[in-house]
Amino acid sequence: MCDEAGTHAETVASIPRPAQGAAVDPIVLEPVDGVLITTLVDNSYDALMADSGAAQRMPFARIPEVAAPQFVGGQTVPGLVAEHGFSALVTTRRGAITHTVLFDTGVSPDGMATNLERLGLDVGAIEVVVLSHGHFDHAGGFPGLARLRHRSGMPLTVHPLVWSRRRFAIPGQPGWELPTLNRSVLEAEGLEVIERRQPSLLLDGSVLITGEVDRTTEFEHGLPYHDAWHEGRWEPDPLVLDEQALVVHVRGRGLVVLTGCGHAGAVNIARHAMRLTGEADDQRATRHRSDVGTHVDRLGHAAQRRAHLRLE
């Protein structure tokens, strides 16, 4: 039984061997004319924040009212649900054709679904669900999705390790086991589970799911004090190998990369996306990106600064 988190030396020893150079056969990611990322769940919501450039926000005035008998007229504006979790809709456009992916589902059973309804979005447009990794704050919203969509057969793309039992083992504190995904329940809700460690192309080749990410930096060490249950015991699991990202190539502008938590490291993920697509020599690939939800605060100030400099 492993009662303590792994040491830094153990983490380094467990890191997969870096893959150098460009991919031998780069994946042909078909360029799209545009991409729209709609954040459904995030840690905060500010209804008073104005639009900024391409980022458009949802103010109180545009959200449907709900019943509230304590107010004159019996109604109020509820805003959107914010919670410790992440979910986003990704819609690509090529000519008149659009495709929509649901990337992660938030932490609570109904937070994502509530926001979908309040934003007036068409759940029927979702063609596939992708989980960035198996942590509960990205996979909690499936009951709400099932309530809204009323249909079966939707594909769910995951890494095989999303079903792993995991815990946090912080020194001096009791171990805390995280909620673990149940495949049979998801399949009973009508989801067609597709497991892949390798990269996947979705929706007419317009969306790339990276699969496992190469770990090539010396300062992105993963998630500390994180364990996984393996062969009858808890073992250090800082790498969270089921972490994967979503990549879209916008014509004339480069790659857009969307992450969940970014446990693999923002720089590792960007490098991996560029290598898979053969964009490693195209500096535009890093200028037009969307790295969302990364837990860079866990890196420490020096490592954060190095990550930002590498991405710039």
pLDDT in tens, 206-249: 999 999 999 999 999 999 999 999 999 999 999 999 999 999 99
| Residue 129 pLDDT > 90 | yes
Q: How far apart are CA 30 and CA 52, in angstroms?
A: 29
Q: How far apart are CA 162 and CA 201, in angstroms?
A: 19
pLDDT in tens, 250-285: 999 999 999 999 999 999 999 999 999 998 644 444
What is the sign of the dihedral through the CA atoms of 270, 273, 276 and 280? negative
Burial class, 288, CB count within 10 angstroms (exposed 0-12 / middle 13-18 / buried 19+): middle
pTM greater than 0.95: no
Q: What is the pLDDT of residue 32?
A: 97
Query: CATH number of the domain at 19-46+76-311, please?
Result: 3.60.15.10
The CA-atom distances, in angstroms, between 40 and each of 20, 37, 85, 171, 226 are 36, 9, 10, 34, 27
Helix, strand, coil content of the chain in percent (nearest 5): 25, 25, 50
